[in-house]
């Protein structure tokens, strides 16, 4: 692709670094911005810059946040005795989109995967154990992707919680084994949350 402007080329190359964005799509986005008022482009660029420089992670659940505590953890109407354990922030968004869960979350930041060099200490597991010990949590709902790594992570955490009297459940396996939670359709995910089952009924051996 030949450009008559180095500035356009540089902008296209930056957009093309985004996942799922090829050079043609990047060029379409750049040309769209070129047609906008300067003030609109400034607002756009400042929003991206502020997001990257000012974003924080919730001190409680590790979700993205603007403050020390995210909006969900700060919401007094949510059921604080119920915590849904997920792999990443995209999973929080996927579950929230179902409007079927009104508890809190705990974002692990991944799953245990020795082949990728990810062990328990690389994840937000210890802070989850601490939440169970210090907060009045009655139920942990494991909503990790139904993969070998997800099941291994669930098993590891449950063993750490053996001495705690807490209800442990998992979303039902309406989500296909090997699938990613964030790509599951909202109806299937909603039913999986509603029809969650006791963790001891989930085969993880």
Contact present, 101 and 69 (Cβ < 8 Å): no
Q: Are residues 41 and 130 in the same domain?
A: no
Q: Tally the domains of the chain.
A: 2
How confident is the model over 8-21, as a mean pLDDT? 96
Q: Are residues 133 and 190 in the same domain?
A: yes
Residue 94 lies in a domain: yes
pTM of the model: 0.79
Residue 58 or 163, more confident: 58
CA distances from 18 to 98, 108, 120 (A): 27, 24, 30
Of the given ranges (48-52, 54-58, 176-180), which has the lowest mean pLDDT?
A: 176-180
Q: Any idea what DSSP says for residue 176?
A: P
Q: Are residues 27 and 103 in the same domain?
A: no
Q: Are residues 32 and 92 in the same domain?
A: no
Q: Are residues 47 and 89 in the same domain?
A: no
Residue 205 is predicted with a pLDDT of: 45
In the predicted model, is pLDDT for residue 197 greater than 50? Answer: yes
Place of tokens 């906008």: 36
Q: Are residues 44 and 85 in the same domain?
A: no
Q: Phi, psi (5° rounding) for residue 104?
A: -110, 175
Taking the C-alpha atoms of residue 155 and residue 114, their distance in angstroms, rounded to an integer, is 15
User: Percent of the chain having pLDDT more than 70?
Assistant: 88
Q: Are residues 18 and 81 in the same domain?
A: no
Q: Are residues 124 and 24 in the same domain?
A: no
Q: What range defines the domain where residue 145 resides?
A: 77-201
User: Residue 129 — very low, low, confident or very high, per pLDDT cuts 50/70/90?
Assistant: very high
Q: Are residues 39 and 91 in the same domain?
A: no
Taking the C-alpha atoms of residue 36 and residue 71, their distance in angstroms, rounded to an integer, is 32
Tokens representing 31 are 């040309």
Residue 193 is predicted with a pLDDT of: 74
Residue 59 lies in a domain: no
Bridge partner residues of 57 (DSSP) = 64
Three-class SS of residue 43?
helix
How confident is the model over 100-110, as a mean pLDDT? 96
């Amino acid at each position: 692709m030949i450009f008559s402007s180095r500035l356009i080329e540089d902008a296209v190359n930056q957009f093309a670094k985004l996942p799922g964005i090829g050079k043609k799509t990047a060029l379409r986005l750049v040309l769209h911005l070129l047609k906008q008022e300067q003030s609109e482009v400034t607002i756009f660029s400042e929003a991206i810059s502020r997001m990257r420089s000012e974003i924080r992670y919730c001190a409680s659940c590790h979700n993205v946040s603007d403050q020390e505590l995210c909006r969900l953890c700060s919401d007094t109407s949510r059921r604080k005795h119920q915590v849904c354990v997920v792999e990443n922030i995209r999973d929080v968004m996927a579950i929230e989109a179902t409007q079927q869960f009104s508890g809190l979350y705990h974002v692990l930041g991944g799953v245990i995967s020795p082949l990728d060099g990810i062990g328990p200490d690389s994840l937000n597991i210890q802070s989850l154990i601490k939440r169970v010990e210090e907060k009045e949590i009655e139920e942990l709902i494991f909503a990790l992707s139904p993969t070998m790594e997800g099941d291994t992570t669930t098993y590891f955490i449950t063993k750490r919680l053996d001495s705690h009297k807490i209800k442990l459940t998992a979303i039902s396996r309406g989500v296909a084994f090997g699938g990613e939670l964030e790509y599951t359709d909202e109806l299937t995910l909603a039913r999986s949350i509603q029809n969650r089952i006791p963790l001891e009924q989930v085969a993880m051996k």
